[in-house]
């Protein structure tokens, strides 16, 4: 009887998994168009030369210090004086203008 219970339990557990609906959600990819983003490792000086002064420069946070510069269409994240990431701001569908973060 115990063996039957284990088989029944396994069948129920596996049967439910086989009947589960699989939902695939595609991962979005940022469309930078003709926008050239700063690259990892670029210096603050290089970003300033390429893109000018940011709209807003946030104070460093944490240790090591992480700083964010906001531009019209993207933000740049620095660790000390080096770029660690640059991200394009989200634009709702149908929007053509820059969105301030």
- DSSP per-residue codes, 24-82: --PPP----TT--PPPTT-BHHHHHHHH-S-SEEPPPBTTTTEEEEE-SSEEEEEETTE
Structure tokens that stand for 55 in this block: 């709209």
Residue 92 confidence (pLDDT) above 60: yes
**Amino acid 79: pLDDT:** 97
Full residue range of the structural domain in which residue 34 is found: 27-88
For residue 101, tell me if it sits in a domain: no
Domain total in the chain: 1
Report residue 74: phi and psi, to 5°: -155, 165
18 domain residue, yes or no: no
**Cα–chain center distance at 50:** 23
Q: Model's pTM, two decimal places? A: 0.64
Of 33-47, 49-63, 80-94, the range with the lowest mean pLDDT is: 80-94
DSSP 58: P
27-31, 48-52, 58-62, 88-92: segment of lowest average pLDDT = 27-31
Domain assignment of residue 99, yes or no: no
Is residue 21 included in any domain, yes or no? no
Residue 22 maps to a domain = no
């Amino acid at each position: 009887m115990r063996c039957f219970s284990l088989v029944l339990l396994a069948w129920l557990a596996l049967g439910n998994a086989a009947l589960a609906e699989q939902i695939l959600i595609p991962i979005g990819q940022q469309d930078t168009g003709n926008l050239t983003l700063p690259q990892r490792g670029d210096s603050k000086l290089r970003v300033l030369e390429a893109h000018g002064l940011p709209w807003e420069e946030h104070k460093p946070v944490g240790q090591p210090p992480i700083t964010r510069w906001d531009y019209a269409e993207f933000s740049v994240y620095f660790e000390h004086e080096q770029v660690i990431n640059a991200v394009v701001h989200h634009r709702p569908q149908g929007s053509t203008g820059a969105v301030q973060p």
